[in-house]
Amino acid sequence: MRKSMPHENHKGARMKNIAVFASGKGSNFGAIVRAAKKGIFKANLALLVCDNPKALVLGKAKRAAVKAVLVKREDFSSKSDFENNIIQHLEENKIDLIVMAGFMRILSAELVNRFRNKIINIHPALLPSFKGSRGIKDAFLYGVKVTGVTVHFVDELMDHGPIILQKEIKIEESDTLETLEAKIHKVEHKLYPQAIALFVEGKLRIEGRKVRISAL
């Protein structure tokens, strides 16, 4: 059997190209880089798209030798020009999957449509509860005893698309917001690479709101 090339999977097919979108610390980006190295999913981490020049994730991409593009909203007169520039980068790099990891902007319906069922997001709560940018804090302050992490496809609505994976996390009496945040991030860093693996292996099938996962 011919040895597979670095850009191919074991069946000789072209490996999928992933773009991660992030605006901040990038702990999920770091976890995705480590998972790719360990072979938890077999795909090329082809691009980081970042909109914030001060984001720590940019340094992480540099250290990991992942190509990064900084696309600042203020450099464009409209949201659609901004997104068209991002789309150009995605097309140049033949991106098959967009992984949203703390990208602090809502994607327009046009971009979502263009990459329909090829964009996934991670949310630090059990959707449909506690949508929005303060999912961990809102769940903690509400007093729920169980929260968790959700990975889902992105559609036109915020934190809304079909759910791929969820993992519950108990909130104990002794938990503070900080300990809960640490627990959530630990789970995120494991769950997101698993969801990416399912996508790149073609194991996800969307039926309405349900995501069917074929046997591993």
Least Å distance, CB 198 to ligand GRF, is 18
Cα–chain-centroid distance for residue 128? 17
Assess 83 for contact with ligand GRF (CB under 6 A): no
Least Å distance, CB 24 to ligand GRF, is 4
Assess 122 for contact with ligand GRF (CB under 6 A): yes
Residue list 188-207, contact with ligand GRF (CB under 6 A): 188
Least Å distance, CB 55 to ligand GRF, is 8
The residue among 28 and 44 lying less far from ligand GRF, judged by its C-beta, is 28
Pick the piece of the chain touching ligand GRF (CB under 6 A) from 42-50, 65-73, 105-113, 116-124: 116-124
Is 160 an active-site residue?
no
Q: Which of 124, 148, 161, 193 binds ligand GRF (CB under 6 A)?
A: 124
Active site residues: 123
Chain contacts with ligand GRF (rule: CB under 6 A): 22, 24-29, 101-102, 122-124, 188
